[in-house]
Structure 1
Amino acid sequence: MMSAPETPENEVDRLAELDSFDVLDSLPEQAYDDITMLASQICGTPIALVTFIDRDRQWLKSKVGLDLDESARDVAVCAHAILNPTDVFVVEDLSADARFADNPFVTGEESIRFYAGVALTTASGNALGVLCVIDRVPRRLSTEQAAALRALSRQLIAQLELRRSISLLEAAAGERAQHQEQLENYQRELEATLSVTAEQSITDPLTGVRNRRAFLSRLTEEVDRSNRLGSTFSVAMIDVDRFKSFNDAHGHAAGDVALQQIAEIISHECRSTDLVARYGGEEFVVILTGADLDAALALGERIRRSVEVADWAHRPLTVSVGVASTSGCDDADELVHLADAAMYRAKAAGRNLTFAA
């Protein structure tokens, strides 16, 4: 049997603070919708929601992928998520969990399976609602995705505080000029924070170049453009030679510094229109817009040579490079495979070489 969610011990205070924000049944707002969309993209789920748990209902302030305004509180998975306001509440397969197996959202038309939600908890410790991501197939949430959800939930609380501040400021009409300036400052601060959060979601934290998710998104765009317009672009795969032995000999801290230096070298050799990303571990990838295979081969060789002659702290490092172009391929996965295969041929031929597919 489906278990109804328990009532939080601080329910009276929680509902009082929720009422103080005057957010229930309010109109859609772009700031909330932007965060919801970002949560969906970061976690790769078709559904993302911002919900508030009222006395006997769950009300949706913002939504992606679900045509619903509210539901009864006793069937809301989010009503379970607010019971532990400090953790991300994750159920990898709702149909396999006795609490939710016969929940109408699981057994009905929506047929949801995966759920991950982080409570929207105020400074007073009251969990007002949840930012959640949902999928119709079982899955897992990565550590990075969980951290991103927590960060976005903090921005939602900041937005709520801003919203309440706006209401208070509007009520004090006699000090309109001063309050208007404060309003604008609050909004700029929030927009700046959201911009930083969005940037962090597509940036490799160690090297500062784009991460794998950003690369794959851009690659799909470039392939679509290439197929539509008949244009050409190339991909370069770059792997640090014998990097494991470098880490073993000099430590991971030295390895991190070396990866940062290699990222700087690659970025310096590329154009502003190119995309440089860390593909994973000691492997980097570059999307070269408008470049044919010869141009990509020339860039790969410049990168290889620049790494080879760089000033290294412990011992010289080299890279092996493989390049491939859409002139011989119109599929994203195949293009990456061709560049990767060319890079491995460079390694097999002795390393510190640049090969073309």
Structure 2
Amino acid sequence: MNQILEFRQTFPEEGLLSNLFHDDHEAARLSVLESYEILDSAPEKSYDDVARLAAYVCATPIALVSFFGGARQWVKARFHTALFAEKPLDLPCQGFLEALSTEQGQVLQVPDIALDNRFTGHHLLQGSLKLRFYASAPLYSPAGELIGSLSVFDKRSRALATEQVVALLTLARQIMELLEMRRTLIGLSDANAKLGQQNLTDALTGIPNRRAYDQKLTEEFSRAKRTGAPLSLLLIDIDNFKQYNDTFGHPAGDGALQSVARVLMSSLRPYDFLARYGGEEFVIILPSTDLSDALVVAERVRGLVAGSEFPHRKFTISVGVSRLDIEAGPRALIQAADNGLYRAKAAGRNKVVMGKLNDNSPAGSATP
């Protein structure tokens, strides 16, 4: 059998039944329910179908799939005939949980609720409901926690036939299989999200990588095109980094890249986006930022790096700055910034230069 669908029902020892409402048992039950992410979840056809089948095989007008969460019995799925439409079927937790736990995994049958003091005064007996018969199959997690039930109700006093009892237990197992599949899918989703995050993160520096930059630039370009807001970009290169690597070794170079990334990250505004572009190059996307403001940010970043302490020696950076031309597109944005970076390095490094498309000639800079 597919392992995803396999589970073995275990039940609390008899001596533990009186402790079902103690904090540790309640915490364990809630922990299991949280792992399924089932409480207060949206309606799902698979659970609705189980409730409908339970009502059909047991020939009852009401069937519920419910879970014991805190002081409430939360109903995940409900089937009822037209007679019970719009009528509340909120159920307390303790009376039902206590009654169900005494059955040790079997179906609980209460032929006449009115004659059972565990349900005295309950609204099921009152008003237009006046329900009499109640039967419930427990839902036990693989760890043995009683987390819910599959229940059926009727307006007349009665009992289930043997084959109906078997069918109700079978449907209860189907619910647990649905829950186990749900937990497996949650685990896969979390793992995929983590893997996706790893695919967008530079392993050395811990900041977004080139792939993440490409995605972010596409998003910001679309936003700028839609709203008309400005978009600027900084392309940053660590000056004389190859010389540093050759002198102090690649492990020291890796440490330097990590340190520079931390300094750059500390300089960002909340809405700026920093990524490692490649090698010793970094890129910063500046949403809703015009060219004049981008030059101010670039100068602040340059000064912060130049004034920071690093292992072995200080570092400086050269920065190319560009502003988006919607007609030219996002590729032109990085090309213009690259041209500015080329000019900054050609002019002596440790400078900020505004880049222009199709212009890579050495020229003046925005900083001395």
Q: TM-score, normalised by structure 1?
A: 0.49
Query: Rg larger in 1 or in 2?
Result: 2
TM-score by length of 2: 0.48
